[in-house]
Structure 1
């Protein structure tokens, strides 16, 4: 995260979001065919997928899409689960899966594997060299230099996703889903500079 002053700009960058990464892993491992939606990214950036545990179609793609939107879009409508879909009386549903019973069963079974993959990915990233993209603060300083003034106050939330596509998805005016491979490439500074110029 980069920021300057109490009323200035802020860019928060979230990498290794546990819920989002594991949701993508479950979609990939179970070969869930999800309806097209502007906020659904491409395939998981993983060379070898684990074998699915259920037949194709066991988890309706609409269930995964509903869960995904509940995780990435704060404005997405949240379905109200029926009382008989709750895991048990007075049992919390921390992953918000009660409205999607088929998906909930698969996630409960595969969560340990998804979590292991997520933690291994984090460890390997910490052990290697850091991302190759320039610091966000440097990009903002370049914009200020080109404008000849400080940028106006703004707030951006960038969530990085381990996917193979290169599409940056706009959730709303301040939230974006960005593939890690875009963030870690020269394209990132070009896109961020253009975005900061538009909003400032």
Structure 2
């Protein structure tokens, strides 16, 4: 879901989250799974304690099926809107061919959904979402335009925010930038990252 969107003459930057990815990570952490991922994705922040009932369902088959689901989301083969419609109740249709994972998701879906809503990136909290985050991508584009002495070329950049530990980021093959919420909230680090990424497209 898009949380912030900026446009200019021929360019668009959208910052958002992916609820299904956050829910998948919650299920991983709450069940104590240790899937072999490349790249490795840090645990959620704030941390999710292991639930012994979910852990009992997280055997090797469930872990392998979870990994397949995650790769589909991560690599963009599984669209977020489709996953949201088919991953949950009443039928959990997306998981029909993944019976062990389906059992795990059915058991943890309500808590995963609640956590994903409560800790949604950039959602208002007691500390609030820093207002400069909404302006930062456009400000970097303007800075680069001034340095280059011309308008930005046509480009689109999607930034996906995950509430995971650390100040980490990944630039995916399709050009999507994935950043941790902690990095996004570090103004200096986020601006430096944007500058590096946008320098190649502006």
TM-score (norm 2): 0.79
Matches for 1:118-197 after TM superposition, within 5 Å? 118-122=116-120, 125-128=123-126, 129-131=128-130, 133=133, 135-185=136-186, 186-197=188-199
Whether contact under 8 Å (1:9, 1:153) holds in the other structure is: yes
- Cα separation, partners in 2 of 1:75 and 1:47, compared to 1, 3 Å: closer
Given candidates 2, 9, 12, the residue that maps to 1:10 is 12
- Displacement, 1:180? 0.8
> How many residues are treated as equivalent by the alignment?
182
Structure 1 stretch displaced more, 96-105 or 140-149: 96-105
Alignment of 1:30-45 (within 5 A): 30-38=31-39, 40-45=40-45
Cα 1:37–1:22 change in 2 (3 A) is: same
Aligned match for 2:97, one of 85, 96, 99: 99
Counterparts of 1:82-93 in structure 2, within 5 Å, are: 93=92
Partner of 1:24 in structure 2?
Answer: 25
169-178 vs 157-166, which deviates more? 169-178
Q: How far apart, CA to CA, are the structure 2 residues paired with 1:99 and 1:164?
A: 32
SS of residue paired to 2:42: coil
Greater Rg, structure 1 or structure 2? 1
Is the Cα–Cα contact under 8 Å of residues 21 and 118 in structure 1 kept in the other structure?
yes
1:63-116 per-position Cα deviation (integer Å, ceiling 9, x unaligned): 21110111121248xxxxxxxxxxxxxx8645x223322111101111001111
Offset at residue 157 of structure 1 (A): 1.1
RMSD in angstroms over aligned alpha carbons? Answer: 2.6
Displacement after TM superposition at 1:117 (Å): 1.3
CA distance in 2, matches of 1:63, 1:119: 24
Q: Please identify runs of 4+ aligned residues in structure 1 that moved more than 4 A.
A: 91-94
- Provide Cα deviations, 1:21-74, integer angstroms capped at 9, x if missing partner: 111111100011111312x41111124515232338515432211101111212
CA–CA distance in 1 between the matches of 2:114 and 2:73? 20
- Consecutive unaligned residues of structure 2, counting only runs of 5 or more, are 79-89
Tell me, yes or no, if the aligned pair for 2:122 and 2:129 is still in contact at 8 Å.
Answer: no
Give TM-score, length-normalised by structure 1. 0.80
